[in-house]
Structure 1
Amino acid sequence: MKKVAPPRARDLGLPLEGTPGKWNAITDVAGVEVGYCTLNSGDGPLKVGSGPVYTGVTAILPRGRQELPRPVWAGLYDLNGNGELTGSHWIEDAGYFISPICITNTHSVGMAHHATVGWMLEQHKDYFEQYHSWAMPVIAETYDGLLNDICGRHIKEEHVLAALDSATTGPVAEGNVGGGAGMQSYEFKGGTGTSSRVVEVQGTQYTVAALVQSNFGLRPEFSVCGVPVGQHITENAIITESSGHEQGSIVVIIATDAPLLPAQLKRLAKRGALGIGRTGTYGGHFSGDIMMAFSTANDIIMPPLGAEQPTSFNLECLNDAHCDTLYLATVQAVEESVLNAMIAAESVATIKPAGRVLEAIDHDALCRVMASYSRLRE
């Protein structure tokens, strides 16, 4: 029997703004593909190296699969830098990257990097073997030790390759999938979420979309469309009851087909912080809140070192005066991505502390709170 897809934020009647694309997902940006590998095994007390295992890998191919690797223009912003995103130095310097993006748990960045290099070498043999080309993958992470034997380092090369090989366009699974498997958000079960917005600038249609690995926030902060939901649904706030400090992170990947240069994309990435801020977070010290924005426009061939080089490239860029439309769409898409991650999630037993359950947000309880503030669509 085919598994029924979980509801999304809009299905519950939450009053979210903006017009989503066909799939309301990052794959609404033409060419972008997403794949997952999810690991779920074992139960009972934590035994490092044995489990329980609840983790995974999320892979994003910004231009899908092409014969030659092509640059993707990009910009970065970290609201709080307590996290990792490899390849960031080159993106800051040059404004582009040539690789997939993989997101996993904190202790598996090295394996994800190693495996992604191998995948790139296999996909583009001539590019790397005949010329002086080098692979610098973009790998990001968030911490899943609440639910997963993170110190057991269960992510292996084959898991990363499975995520990369499974990447496709179309609807994107959310919740307890891929790198988002072991995540929490506002002390509810978190995970992977995505959303998109279609906008028009001077008669031309563009898409802005986001995918998040959501693993941040404390319950009292949680807000939905301006409603202080976390102050009404207070049960089982595991972290607040213990340390009272955030112990997660969030990775925000923003994609667009609008022609933006790296400096403009850095500014777009900053709006990701406003998107997560709409859900209530103040950006705690122990949370790495890292945003990256990329554009699939200006698709050029950049020859490898040792090949004949063109004298220049011609690039199109949107007038900054029209970027406000994209900024608003970004904030809306990131906010909805976080909510989608939480609403699609399923409850999971915790291992640190043992014997508890990280509960998914109760949809009926959420709707009752929203209705009490007259904030549900009819």
Structure 2
Amino acid sequence: MAGESMPADAFPSHKFIIIAGMLLSKPILLALCLLPALLQAQEKKRSRDYGLRTGVMAPGPLNAITDVPGVKVGHTTLVKGDSVRTGVTAILPHGGNIFQEKVPAAVYTGNGFGKLAGSTQVNELGNMETPVVLTNTLSVATAMDALITYTLRQKGNENVMSVNAVVGETNDGYLNDIRGRHVTADDVLQAISGAQSGPVEEGVTGAGTGTVCFGFKGGIGTASRRLPASLGGYTVGVLVQTNFGGNLQIGGAPVGREMGKFSFSDRLLNNADGSCMIVVATNAPIDHRNLMRLAKRAMLGLGKTGGIASNGSGDYVIAFSTAEALRIPHSLATPVISTPLLQNDNTSPLFMAAIEATEEAIINSLFAARTVTGRKGNKAMALPLEQVIPILKKYNSIQQ
């Protein structure tokens, strides 16, 4: 139930549970077999399950970034003792050798109080050659090292001597012992190797394990939009790591104001700092220039939720295209390349899709999150849906 405190071991696990030195009875074995189903039954609903319809465009089948063909997502969640609440999330644009088949990409900086590794080369060359890894602020170097290891190990990269590792972060130091730097290279490699297509776990998972959003527990969220065939039939998918403040709005309803809980109010610490990482994927054939334009629109989606990109918030958008025709071979056979690109006049539907998917992904991160207690007993409460849903009904923001 929203608002309940959960024990430290009630987090999603992305590692095997090893039970040694115990003679397990048949009832215990049966309970262990049923555990995944029980945990799934306890999963919180997404915003659409409550009747909230963000925007007007139709989502993809999964309403996730993985609706974009080829995109995979993996998480490693670290929950240890009473102070470690952190993790890693990896987003792969395709399942092949990304260094050898680079994808068009762009990075837009909404507010630059952050440590987004690899951004300058992405914008200079207009492409990306590694997966995107999200983690906490002080684990960026570790994640870069792991991405370099991952790239150098891949078949066909035996002569590679330079790797532009793309790593984003938010600061989860309120709930997590961030100075302990508990994320290891193996944790990053596990998130990459475990990346899958299909449904994406949201909320208190991966890089969102220790984050806080609008004064509530934030985390990982995702959403997508699929354009109708008349507009190209392209898909835009978004994944967010939410850790920022402002004045929460959901579906146009002033939730933060109604609850009396918003940045710089008496009931919330006068701090809107944090960060938000936004990853936008599309299969539309657009290059760096229009991917930059697409990335800028994602910040409008953040604004629609009430985010303010405060002074201390690192708000970045990484956008890439998975269109196979636009992949850039590391070794070109000819000095001139010719690729089909979507015309400027046909990009507006993609812009609208990015805005809507970003807004919904942020809201989904809040709906999926649970209450978490971490470092020094600090607690981030889950969004109290028992209070929020009546507010949304009051403002006709959800379908009755």
Tell whether 2:27 aligns with 1:27.
no
1:24-81: CA deviation from partner (whole Å, max 9, x where unpaired): 10000000000000000112xxxxxxxx100000001111234873111011211100
The alignment status of 1:87 with 2:87, answered yes or no, reads no
SS of the residue corresponding to residue 232 of structure 1 reads helix
Aligned to 1:325: 349
- Name the counterpart of 1:76: 107
CA contact 2:371–2:381 (8 Å) conserved in 1: yes
Counterpart for residue 329 of structure 2: 302
For the pair 1:97 / 2:122, whether they are aligned, the reply is no
Residue equivalent to 1:180? 208
**Which of 243, 254, 266 lines up with 2:292 in the alignment?**
266
Whether 1:137 aligns to 2:165 is yes
Query: What SS does structure 2 have at the residue aligned with 1:117?
Result: helix
Q: Give, in whole Å, the separation in 2 of the partners of 1:167 and 1:122.
A: 17
Instruction: Tell me which residue corresponds to 2:250.
Output: 224
Deviation of 1:238 (Å): 11
Q: Which consecutive unaligned segments of at least 5 residues does structure 1 have?
A: 44-51
Name the CA shift for 1:317/1:107 in 2 (closer, same or farther; >3 Å). Answer: same
Equivalent pairs counted in the alignment come to 360
Structure 1 residue 15, shift from structure 2 partner: 2.8
Shift of 1:227: 0.8
Change (3 A) 1:356 1:114: closer
**Structure 1 residues 67, 364: CA separation in 2 closer, same or farther (over 3 Å shift)?**
closer
Distance 2:61 2:310 in 1: 35
CA contact (8 A) 2:261 2:268 kept: no
Give the letter aligned to residue 252 of structure 1.
I
CA contact (8 A) 1:29 1:207 kept: yes
The 5 Å alignment of 1:141-180 reads 141-180=169-208
Paired with 1:247 and 1:350, the residues of 2 have a C-alpha distance of 19
Provide the residue aligned with 1:117 in structure 2.
148
Residue identity in the other structure for 1:263: R
Structure 1 residue runs of 4 or more that deviate by more than 4 Å after TM superposition: 235-243
Secondary structure at 1:120 match in 2: helix
What amino acid does structure 2 have at the position aligned with 1:164?
A: I
Q: Deviations over 1:266-304 (max 9, x none)?
A: 000000110000001221101111111110113435234
Identity in percent: 38
Match of 1:49 in 2: none
Instruction: Tell me the SS of whatever aligns to 2:223.
Output: strand
Q: Deviations over 1:138-173 (max 9, x none)?
A: 100000001000001000111111101100100000
Give the whole-Å Cα distance in 2 for the aligned partners of 1:106 and 1:97. Answer: 21
Q: For the structure 1 residues 287 and 238, does the alpha-carbon distance in structure 2 shift closer, same or farther, using more than 3 Å as the test?
A: same
Q: How big is the shift at 1:372? A: 1.4
Question: For the structure 1 residues 175 and 368, does the alpha-carbon distance in structure 2 shift closer, same or farther, using more than 3 Å as the test?
Answer: same
- Which residue of structure 2 aligns with residue 361 of structure 1? 383
- Name the aligned partner's letter for residue 394 of structure 2: S
**Which shows bigger deviation, 11-20 or 27-36?**
11-20
Residue 284 of structure 2 aligns to a residue whose secondary structure is coil
Identify the residue that residue 22 of structure 2 maps to in structure 1: none
* SS at 1:226 equivalent: coil
8 Å CA contact 2:99–2:330 kept in 1: the answer is no
Instruction: Report the alpha carbon displacement of residue 373 of structure 1 after superposing the two structures with TM.
Output: 1.4
Pairwise CA RMSD of aligned residues?
1.9
Q: 2:242 aligns with which of 182, 202, 214?
A: 214
Q: 1:365 to 1:134 in 2, by over 3 A?
A: same
3-state SS, counterpart of residue 291 of structure 1: strand
> Measured at CA, do residues 108 and 90 of structure 1 come closer, stay the same or move farther in structure 2, by a change above 3 Å?
same
Q: Read off the aligned partner of 1:85 and give its amino acid letter.
A: L
Structure 1 residue 355: deviation in Å?
3.8
Question: CA contact under 8 A between 2:152 and 2:160: conserved in structure 1?
Answer: no
Contact 2:285 2:326 in 1 (8 A): no
Q: Which amino acid aligns with 1:327?
A: F
